[in-house]
Structure 1
Amino acid sequence: MSETGKGLRADKWLWYARFFKTRSLASKVCQAGKLRLSGQGVVKPHHKVRAGDVLTFPQACHIRVIRVVALAERRGPASEAQALYEDLKPPEAESRLPRGTPSATAKIALRDPGTGRPTKRERRDLDRLREPE
């Protein structure tokens, strides 16, 4: 852990804390303006994060609200990463969609397991179903 007076790039800290699998994904969230640092929007991934800052950002289907407790020197194991932050609003298990369930907005035709590939007629029916109206 490094000193609390120093700052660390927002994308690096998000990656070190294991919120994103790659640093480029963390950088894209910053550049898209989806990261808020203590209530202010951040559009540059090099914005400095310090201990005590509150970060708000989307992750999967949840909005994460995190307080930065410490800064890191490297991307360590998960136990080390969890010591870097305090989760102010942990994701609720009930709010998450079950795996394999399509969202309400997606137009996905469900097939029974083991029925094989769709026939040409079924594929055309699926294409008609997916066409924008």
Structure 2
Amino acid sequence: MTGAPKQAAAEAAGAQRLDKWLWAARFFKTRPLAVEAINGGKVQVDGQRVKPGRSIRPGNRLTIHKGEYEWRIEVQALSKQRRPATEAALLYREDEHSHRKRQEQVRERREAGRTPAPERGRPSKRDRRRIGDFTGRRRG
């Protein structure tokens, strides 16, 4: 493996891959989701678009867009393992403005009664019948 020595050298120097850090800090449930977000431009390091293998160190500033929410954080520490949420929160410090804005969005969403639409699979037999009745395509 050609990347293993390079990765080991980066970890020894106090750096870690961005996708691993986002996973360990619990911003994404899996590393592939973190990679997808990074490749999609949803994560920036120090204001620049980066690749998943980018090494980050304490002091780097990240901007993370996830859905309608945005986090502006500063990396405080690195972690090789995914730990409980209370420990993961110690890996970064969030900008006060970013935190207030996100809390306000959550409050507005709650007051408006908007909840995320439930993700559903294929329609059930009953749903298909109702769709057919509505569109006039049902025979019977």
Partner SS, residue 24 of structure 1: helix
* Structure-2 change in CA distance of 1:101 and 1:39 (3 Å): closer
Identity of aligned residues (%): 37
From 115, 127, 132, give the equivalent of 1:100: 115
| Structure 1 runs, 4 residues or longer, greater than 4 Å off | none
> Structure 1 residues 100 and 72 mapped into 2: Cα distance closer, same or farther (>3 Å)?
same
The answer to whether residue 52 in structure 2 is matched with residue 37 in structure 1 is no
Gap runs ≥5 in structure 1: 103-115, 126-133
Scaled by the length of structure 2, the TM-score of the pair is: 0.67
**Separation in structure 2 between the aligned mates of residue 82 and residue 28 of structure 1, nearest angstrom:** 22
Confirm or deny that 1:47 pairs with 2:54. yes
Q: Judging changes above 3 Å, is the alpha-carbon distance between structure 1 residues 80 and 31 closer, same or farther for their aligned structure 2 residues?
A: same
1:75 maps onto 2:85 in alignment: no
Question: Is contact 1:18–1:78 with CA below 8 Å preserved after alignment?
Answer: yes
Gaps (5+ residues) in structure 2?
1-10, 118-125
Counterpart contact for 2:42–2:66, Cα < 8 Å: no
- Identify the structure with bigger relative contact order (alpha carbons < 8 Å, sequence gap 6+): 1
Structure 1 length as normaliser, TM-score?
A: 0.70
1:56 has 2:63 as partner: yes
Deviations 1:9-57 (A, max 9, x none): 0000000000001110001111122221011111x10001100000002
**How many residue pairs end up in the alignment?**
108
User: How large is the RMSD of aligned CA atoms in angstroms?
Assistant: 2.4
After superposing the two structures, state which structure 1 stretch, 75-84 or 33-42, moved more.
33-42
